[in-house]
Amino acid sequence: MIIDLESIFNVEGLSADLDYEIDMSGEELDGAFPFKTPVRVRGRVANTTGIVEINAEASYELTMPCSRCAQETVHKMSTEIYHTLVRQVENENNDDFLTVTDLRYDLDPLVREDILLSMPYKFLCSDDCKGLCPKCGKNLNEGPCSCKPETDPRLEALRQLLDNNE
């Protein structure tokens, strides 16, 4: 969504509401395309004391495989979008402000970046997910597998001693 900021920058106290959707279905994350539905962005762009602030929230659903058991999970999430836009800055290395030169600003790349930067590094179907058996691959959430537990080779001599005493 391209925002025309000329009137907002020129009139202190002026604001405009944001309410639109972004299609992020083409975004790939860890080999999956998690955005099955559009991202909803709601908020406001407002001029306060000569600077323009974007204050919005992006709401969306992520459909990702569980990081432990690979079962598809759906997470409802939201990301706060807050940025300050200015016409010019004295120090170009200042990351606190976004410089707007032509008074038109495309909000979509900013929202995409904020959403992708806020992603969790792993997705779980539940906090107590047991994952997959490393030997046979059975989903341990569905019950135990028939694999024998492996003994640490460093403890093999101790296991043999215990077996001899029985």
Q: Contact at 8 Å (CB) between 55 and 82? A: yes
* Whole-number pLDDT of residue 5: 83
Evaluate if residue 94 carries a pLDDT over 70: no
pLDDT band at 17 (very low <50, low <70, confident <90, very high): very high
CB 33 within 8 A of CB 1: no
Contact by Cβ (8 Å): 141, 130: yes
Predicted local distance difference test score (pLDDT) of residue 140 = 92
pLDDT 10s digits, 142-160: 999 888 877 788 888 888 8
Distances (CA, A) of 87 to 81, 101, 103: 19, 6, 8
> What whole-number distance in Å separates Cα of residue 130 and Cα of residue 61?
24
Calculate the average pLDDT of the chain.
Answer: 88
Return the domain boundaries, the chain. Answer: 2-129, 131-166
